[in-house]
Amino acid sequence: MKKIPLKRIMKYMKPHMPYLVLSLVCSLIYALSALFVPVMVGESIDLFIGKKQVDFNRLWSILGVISGLAAAAGISQYVQGVSNNRLAFMTIMDIRNAVIDKLQKLPLAYFDAKPSGEIVNSVVADAESLSDGIVLAFTQFFTGIVTIAGTLVLMFVYNPLIALIVVGLTPMSLFAAKYFSSRTHAKFALQAKLRADETSFIEETVYNNKTVKAYGRERAMEEKFEIIDENLRKTALDATFYSSLTNPVTRFINAVVYAAVALVGGLSAAGIITFGGTITAGVLTCLLNYAGQYAKPFNEISGVITELQASAVGANRIFSLLDAEEEPSDKDGKIISGPGNVELDNVCFSYDKSRELIKNLSLKVEPGKHVAIVGPTGCGKTTLINLLMRFYDVDSGAVIINGTDVKEGTRHSLRDNWGMVLQESWIRKTSVRENLTLGSDIDDNRILEAARLCKADGFIARLGGLDTEISDDSLSQGERQLLCITRVMLSNPGMLILDEATSAVDVRTEVKVSGAFDLLMKGKTSFIVAHRLSTIRNADMIIVMRDGNVVDKGTHKELLGKGGFYSDLYYGLVE
């Protein structure tokens, strides 16, 4: 069994230590109360056995003590349950916050390599599994240990022979629990992986539901899901089956322990066995109670071990995410600001280091120039944008913004200079205002003016105004794109990146938005990635890329006049 990273979990428990202390104190009170009840019951039985006259005053006092112990056990168990749940939920809340914080520090390469569903599964399902393990561990595990230790001590006090028999049979239960638990971890690990795969598949299918329907692939998606779900079902059943064997096996062994205590205790009470001393009927009753109490924690602990198997898998997946390599810290970096001077000096970069993508790319863009980047699919246009934004670092060479190598500056100051409108529009399920401002405090008049310039004011009014809650589903693709353009207009950055910014709007709207872009780009260095070459005719410079290299550059008129690769692109001779 792969160990639970207990030290790391305790780090997140530390701020909530009062709940842990209270839980442990309540566990101790509950266990001790439960241990002394059989003593009182045994004594009350002995008041009747062989006595001509019953001491009812003593009997009533014993019943009062039993009632008090039962009340103490009940109250402590309730308080312990509340404390454990608070401890677990607050710890998991801190862990989830740490995961979300970690996700903000991870490089884009991490998200490109991991399915989003797997990451979501770690934050939700794995954390939930760990929470269940924490609750069970402190509700049953500690109480069980105290109960086992307490019953053994008291059995040695009453009858050493019976205590030795119990101790001698105990390893059988421990070996059985270890045997089965050691074989279930791999099955729980596979179950967690398949659950993450299923989450990813559901997320992708729901997100791309329109595409699925458009191509009539509903049944194909169902069949693929059924295969994933069937694999998950089989694995979950295997994991549950093998882990469930622990409990009945330990119950059987504990029944053997109980029978041995009953047999030896009965013979001792009858005087047939005198080793360890004879015992009374009340003491025999007490010992049988202790045999049951002694056995019960083993059954519970076997269930806890099963749950901890799943928790161990979840915990290790979470901490694997938390251990992922972050983007290098740049807190001591330079602040990048200025008019928008951009230079690429002999830049080389590739996602897969065995395959070159951008090779020895050099480029200089003066402040205020509008640069269009064109080329066939896969030539490196979006990669160039990733390097300008420092979503990825170059393998060699340098990206220089306003005289500063971006590796020497802070990412925040670099990205604060840029405004981006991408092909994929990001709309949150919240108000129009929140989507446009992203939480910044911006006056409504400014928002409405930006919306008017971007021709988004009309449909915003039709939706019901800035306070209307929207989502991806409530807007057309063109409307989402217009909101994203308005968002950039409000941020008023020094430089712009427009990656197919008008790809989702119709021709009529594109003409209107072009005017807003002219205002937005005035005096600002702008990079425009475009497939429709008719949209970048007026660019100050057009960079033509092919296989990661700049193969030509110039104005639209100059490039057409050359009749080279750009001309082939423009007239559709190259895909």
The per-residue pLDDT for range 149-170, each reduced to its tens digit, is 888 888 888 888 888 888 787 7
Q: Does residue 248 carry a pLDDT above 90?
A: no
In a domain, 453, yes or no: yes
User: Rounded distance, CA 122 to CA 319, Å?
Assistant: 9
Query: Is 451 found in the same domain as 396?
Result: yes
Percent of the chain having pLDDT more than 70?
89
Q: What is the pLDDT of residues 171-194, one digit of tens each?
A: 777 677 667 766 676 777 788 788
Helices (H) and strands (E) in the chain, counts: 22, 12
pLDDT category, 345, cuts 50, 70, 90? Answer: very high
Query: Is 298 found in the same domain as 363?
Result: no
Of the ranges 258-262, 339-343, 362-366, 531-535, which one carries the lowest mean pLDDT score? Answer: 531-535
Q: Does residue 206 carry a pLDDT above 90?
A: no
In a domain, 213, yes or no: yes
Q: Does residue 1 carry a pLDDT above 50?
A: no
In a domain, 327, yes or no: no
User: Rounded distance, CA 56 to CA 37, Å?
Assistant: 18
More confident residue, 462 or 143: 462
The residue type of 269 is A
Q: What is the pLDDT of residues 489-501, one digit of tens each?
A: 888 888 998 887 6
In a domain, 397, yes or no: yes
Residue among 73, 143, 80 nearest 304 (CA): 143
Show the tokens assigned to 168. 């001698």
pLDDT of residue 534: 63
Residue-wise DSSP of 220-233: HHHHHHHHHHHHHH
Residue among 428, 427, 399 nearest 527 (CA): 399
In a domain, 337, yes or no: no
Query: Is 355 found in the same domain as 305?
Result: no
Query: Is 565 found in the same domain as 489?
Result: yes
**Strand, helix or coil at 345?**
strand
pLDDT of residue 400: 93
Query: Is 364 found in the same domain as 295?
Result: no
In a domain, 330, yes or no: no
Question: How many structural domains is the chain composed of?
Answer: 2
Q: Which are the contacts of 562, defined by CB distance < 8 A and separation ≥ 6?
A: 552, 554
In a domain, 191, yes or no: yes
Strand 541-546 relative to strand 525-529, pairing: unpaired
Q: Does residue 350 carry a pLDDT above 80?
A: yes
Query: Is 436 found in the same domain as 317?
Result: no
More confident residue, 98 or 453: 98
DSSP class of 36: H
User: Rounded distance, CA 58 to CA 49, Å?
Assistant: 14
CA-CA-CA-CA torsion sign (238, 239, 241, 242): positive
Query: Is 436 found in the same domain as 559?
Result: yes
Given 287, 322, 357, the domain boundary residue is 322
Q: What is the pLDDT of residues 436-451, one digit of tens each?
A: 988 788 889 999 998 8
User: Rounded distance, CA 112 to CA 122, Å?
Assistant: 17
Q: Which residues pair with 404 in a beta bridge?
A: 401
More confident residue, 216 or 230: 230
Across the range 85-91, mean pLDDT stands at: 87
pLDDT of residue 235: 86
Across the range 52-79, mean pLDDT stands at: 85
- Expressed as residue numbers, the domain containing 261 is 6-322
Across the range 386-411, mean pLDDT stands at: 91
pLDDT of residue 2: 53
pLDDT of residue 282: 78
Across the range 333-341, mean pLDDT stands at: 86
CA-CA-CA-CA torsion sign (412, 418, 421, 424): negative
Of the ranges 231-240, 246-255, 500-509, which one carries the lowest mean pLDDT score? Answer: 500-509
Q: Is the pTM of this model over 0.75?
A: no
pLDDT category, 326, cuts 50, 70, 90? Answer: confident
8 A C-beta contact, residue 341 and residue 403: yes
Cα angle 245-248-253, degrees, rounded to a multiple of 5: 120
Q: Which are the contacts of 402, defined by CB distance < 8 A and separation ≥ 6?
A: 336, 337, 338, 339, 340, 341, 417
User: Rounded distance, CA 117 to CA 387, Å?
Assistant: 26
8 A C-beta contact, residue 273 and residue 161: yes
* CATH for 387: 3.40.50.300
User: Rounded distance, CA 133 to CA 149, Å?
Assistant: 23
The residue type of 92 is I
pLDDT category, 255, cuts 50, 70, 90? Answer: confident
Query: Is 287 found in the same domain as 354?
Result: no
Query: Is 396 found in the same domain as 472?
Result: yes
In a domain, 501, yes or no: yes
Query: Is 399 found in the same domain as 284?
Result: no
More confident residue, 408 or 533: 408
User: Rounded distance, CA 293 to CA 157, Å?
Assistant: 16
Residue among 385, 386, 417, 420 nearest 401 (CA): 417
Q: Does residue 75 carry a pLDDT above 90?
A: yes
Query: Is 538 found in the same domain as 403?
Result: yes
**Strand, helix or coil at 559?**
helix
8 A C-beta contact, residue 263 and residue 165: no
User: Rounded distance, CA 163 to CA 287, Å?
Assistant: 9
Q: Which are the contacts of 413, defined by CB distance < 8 A and separation ≥ 6?
A: 333, 334, 335, 336, 337
Show the tokens assigned to 184. 């279930």
pLDDT category, 50, cuts 50, 70, 90? Answer: low
**Cα–Cα distances in Å, from 187 out to 177, 192, 193, 225?**
16, 9, 10, 20
pLDDT of residue 517: 73
Dihedrals phi, psi of 505, to nearest 5 degrees:
-105, 155
Query: Is 307 found in the same domain as 369?
Result: no
* CATH for 180: 1.20.1560.10
Half-sphere exposure of 81 (CA within 13 A, CB side): 5
Given 274, 294, 322, the domain boundary residue is 322
Given 322, 353, 382, the domain boundary residue is 322
Across the range 521-546, mean pLDDT stands at: 82
Alpha carbon 177 to chain centroid distance? Answer: 30
Percent of the chain having pLDDT more than 90?
8
Q: Which residues pair with 541 in a beta bridge?
A: 371
8 A C-beta contact, residue 574 and residue 552: no
